[in-house]
Amino acid sequence: MNRIFSGVQPSGNLHLGNYLGAIRNWVRLQGDYQCIFCMVDMHAITVWQDPAELRQKTREVAAGMLAAGVDPVKNILFNQSQVSAHAELAWVFNCVARIGWLNRMTQFKEKAGKNRENASVGLYAYPNLMAADILAYKATHVPVGEDQKQHLELARDIAQKFNNDYGVDFFPQPEPMIFGAATRVMSLRDGTKKMSKSDESEYSRINMTDDADAIALKFRKAKTDPEPLPESVEGLEGRPEAANLVGIYAALSDKGKADVLAEFGGRTFSEFKQALTDLAVSVMGPINQEMKRLLADPAHVDAILREGGRRADEIAAPIMQEIKEIVGFLRP
C-alpha cells in the first residue's frame, strides 16, 4: 500500500507560499493515499527555539493545516516529538549514513553559514532525522518542495545502505513527489526572492492569519512595474513581480497563467490587483477564520495532535521493534 509522509517545520508563520506550495497539495492527496503529516518540532530545535514559542508555533501550524482542510480522521496529524521512533531510528541512521554524504548537503552549508564550527550537531545530522521520519513508517511517497530533493535522495541512500549492510529487504525506496515549481510564490516586495517567513518586511508576504484588510493592503502595496499586464506568458519574462502576481492569481484560481493573461492582458496593475485581492480573500478568508477559531481553543488542537501521535506510534513502534531485531539490539 502507498503511504505518504510529509513534514513541516513549526518554526514560523504560515504564509501564502506555504499554502499554495505545500499545504494545498497535501489536502488534495488525502483521498488517494494514507497520509501522515508531521510538525517536525525535533527538526526545529536544530536552531535555537524559544520553548513557549515552539509550543505555540506547533499548534499554529497544526491549526493552519486543519483550517486548510486536512482531515485528521482520515489522515494522521501529529508532532514529531511525541513518537519515540523518530529519535531512535535517527540514531541508527547516524551510524548508517557516512560523514561524506552529509558533507555534500547544500542546505547545511546554507543554514550553517560561515560559522560552521558553531552550528549544532543536530543541524548537521538533520537529514538523518528526516530519513528516520519517513522510514519509521516505511512511507513510499514524500511530497516535498524542490529544496528538499537532496535530503530525499539521502534518505533513499540510507534505506539502501541499511538493507545492504544487514542483508535485508526491509526499507522501501521512498519516492519524491515534487510540487511547487509551478506554484513557487515569491516575495511581494521583490519578485526574485522566495516568499519567506523570515523576510523582515511584513509586506513581503500574505500570512494565513491575515484578514481581508491586511490582504488588500499588502496587494495594493505589492511591487509592480509601470507597464500594463502582457497578453501572453512570454511577456512576463524579465518582469518578476508581474510574473509572481499572475502566478498567484493562476494558483488561487486553479488556472494556467495563459488563461489569466487572456483575461487580464492589457489591463493595468491597479485593476488586476483589485481582482487578485477579491480572489485571495475569497480563498483565504474562510481558512483564516477557521484558523482563528481553532487557535481560540488550543485544547481541541492538542487533543487532535495527541490522537494523531497515538496512531502514528501504533504504526511506527512495531517497525522500530523489527529494526532493533535486525540491528542486533538484545531485548532481554
Residue 194: beta bridge partners?
Answer: 186
Place of cell 484558523: 291
**Whole-number Å distance between alpha carbons of 33 and 1:** 9
**In terms of CB distance, is 6 or 34 closer to ligand TRP?**
6
Burial of residue 95 (number of CB atoms within 10 Å: 0-12, 13-18, 19+): exposed
Residue 321 one-letter amino acid: Q
Contact region with ligand TRP (CB under 6 A), list: 127-135, 221-229, 284-292, 320-328: 127-135
Place of cell 557516512: 98
Tell me, letter by letter, the H, E, C secondary structure of 29-69: HCCCCEEEEEECHHHHCCCCCCHHHHHHHHHHHHHHHHHHC
Interface with ligand TRP includes 9 (CB under 6 A)? Answer: yes
Which of 88, 133, 210, 241 touches ligand TRP (CB under 6 A)?
Answer: 133
Which of 36, 83, 125, 142 touches ligand TRP (CB under 6 A)?
Answer: 142
Interface with ligand TRP includes 75 (CB under 6 A)? Answer: no
Could you confirm whether 218 is annotated as catalytic? no
**In terms of CB distance, is 7 or 72 closer to ligand TRP?**
7
**CB-facing half-sphere around the CA of 252: CA atoms within 13 A:** 22
Which three cell numbers, joined as nine digits, stand for 190?
521583490
**CB-facing half-sphere around the CA of 27: CA atoms within 13 A:** 15
Contact region with ligand TRP (CB under 6 A), list: 140-148, 165-173, 205-213, 235-243: 140-148
Interface with ligand TRP includes 206 (CB under 6 A)? Answer: no
Contact region with ligand TRP (CB under 6 A), list: 45-53, 142-150, 230-238, 259-267: 142-150
Could you confirm whether 114 is annotated as catalytic? no
Q: In the complex, what is the shortest distance from the CB of residue 327 to ligand TRP, in angstroms, rounded to a whole number?
A: 22
Over the window 148 to 167, marking each residue x when it contacts ligand TRP by CB under 6 A and - when it does not, the resulting string is x--x----------------
For the four alpha carbons of 93, 319, 4 and 13, in that order, the dihedral sign comes to negative
Which of 3, 15, 24, 43 touches ligand TRP (CB under 6 A)?
Answer: 43
Cα angle 278-280-282, degrees, rounded to a multiple of 5 = 70
- The residue annotated as part of the active site, out of 193, 197, 223, 257, is 197
* Site residues (vs ligand TRP, CB under 6 A): 5-7, 9, 40, 43, 130, 133-134, 142, 144, 148, 151
